[in-house]
Amino acid sequence: MSILINKNSKILVQGFTGTEGSFHASQMIEYGSQVVGGVTPGKGGSQHLDRPVFNSVADGVKQTGANVSIIFVPPAFAADAIMEAAEAGIELVVCITEGIPVQDMVNVKSYLQGKNTRLIGPNCPGVITAEECKVGIMPGFVFVKGRIGIVSKSGTLTYEAADQVAKAGLGISTAVGIGGDPIIGTTIKEAVELFMNDPETEAIVMIGEIGGGMEAEAARWIKANGNTKPVVGFIAGQTAPPGRRMGHAGAIVGGAEDTAAAKMQIMSECGIHVVSSPADIGIKMASILKK
């Protein structure tokens, strides 16, 4: 089992023939993901990477049955690409694009209300179900198959957590990089809830950072729902100065609960096993599961 994607997922690449789309689509194909085609307006009817190119997502869905899309479209056009995918009935949209204007994402969030489309991102590394399917830009070789779910705001720390889990003799069910922008599609709580309901995920790694309230929201949801699976948590930005954005657009301390220390305390109070260094994630998880 897994969440969001598996070996049967059929993937369209929006921005297929561009430099980024081409490179990462080829990596996804090499990993074994079912990339069934791509979308580049004006190039419909051609072939790229031995896959068909379509002028629109709707054409691609009609001809391939695709249910997942990944977006490598420039920031000015990325919001339209997300909405086009949703309009075409794509169930999971993974938006890699960084730098989408906040107002554009406000419009996207409003548009997606009531639609049967889940958005991951933007400004994220994507989703990977270990040794089955990769819809993103992460290095696939890091992810060993197993029963630990990962949800993270940080792409780099997603890979680090997967590596630490593997070194501890464990493996990954699915890893979800939700992105670090102020407005994103899927929150930490929503990803945690998916993992809690997945019978093949035994435990969860939750990686947050300064800024916003998603970590506290997720921690309180976990406590309210009985801590049914162990969660190891880490918060990046422990030395960040207040009022200064660090890396991600959403990583800025704006309130008392936005600091790393406050988030770590809330998580601990809610029964999450908090570590102060990402190097301790795998060790802590292994020790919990051996009890």
Decide if 128 is inside a domain: no
| Gap between the Cα atoms of 1 and 20, Å rounded | 30
CATH of residue 28: 3.40.50.720
Confidence of residue 166 (pLDDT cuts 50, 70, 90): very high
Q: Which one, of 72, 3, 2, lies nearest residue 35 by Cα? A: 72
**142 shares its domain with 252:** yes
Residue in 24, 48, 248, 273 annotated catalytic: 248
State the CB neighbour count (10 A cutoff) for residue 224. 9
**19 shares its domain with 100:** yes
**116 shares its domain with 232:** no
Comparing 43-57, 213-227, 237-251, the range with the smallest average pLDDT is 237-251
**60 shares its domain with 147:** no
How distant is the alpha carbon of residue 2 from its chain centre?
14
Confidence of residue 211 (pLDDT cuts 50, 70, 90): confident
Torsion of CA 165, 129, 184, 229, to 10 degrees: -50
Identify the DSSP state of 257: G
Task: Specify whether 273 is catalytic.
Answer: no
Residue 251 pLDDT greater than 80, yes or no: no
- Among 85, 120, 155, the domain boundary falls at 120
Residue 245: which domain range? 138-289
**285 shares its domain with 152:** yes
Per-residue pLDDT, 139:
97
Beta strands in the chain (DSSP E): 10-14, 34-39, 47-48, 51-54, 68-71, 92-95, 118-120, 126-129, 133-136, 145-152, 172-177, 203-209, 231-236, 273-274
Do 133 and 9 meet the contact criterion of CB atoms below 8 Å apart? yes
Confidence of residue 75 (pLDDT cuts 50, 70, 90): very high
**86 shares its domain with 206:** no
**116 shares its domain with 40:** yes
Comparing 14-28, 149-163, 185-199, 237-251, the range with the smallest average pLDDT is 237-251
Q: How far is CA 94 from CA 127, 210, 213, in A?
A: 8, 23, 22
| Gap between the Cα atoms of 111 and 9, Å rounded | 24
Helix (H/G/I), strand (E/B), else coil: 14: strand
Decide if 153 is inside a domain: yes
Per-residue pLDDT, 247:
56
How many domains does one find in the chain?
Answer: 2
Confidence of residue 210 (pLDDT cuts 50, 70, 90): confident
Residue with the larger pLDDT of the pair 225 and 291: 225
Residue 88 pLDDT greater than 80, yes or no: yes
Per-residue pLDDT, 240:
59
**104 shares its domain with 206:** no
**162 shares its domain with 281:** yes
Residue 87 pLDDT greater than 90, yes or no: yes
**47 shares its domain with 188:** no
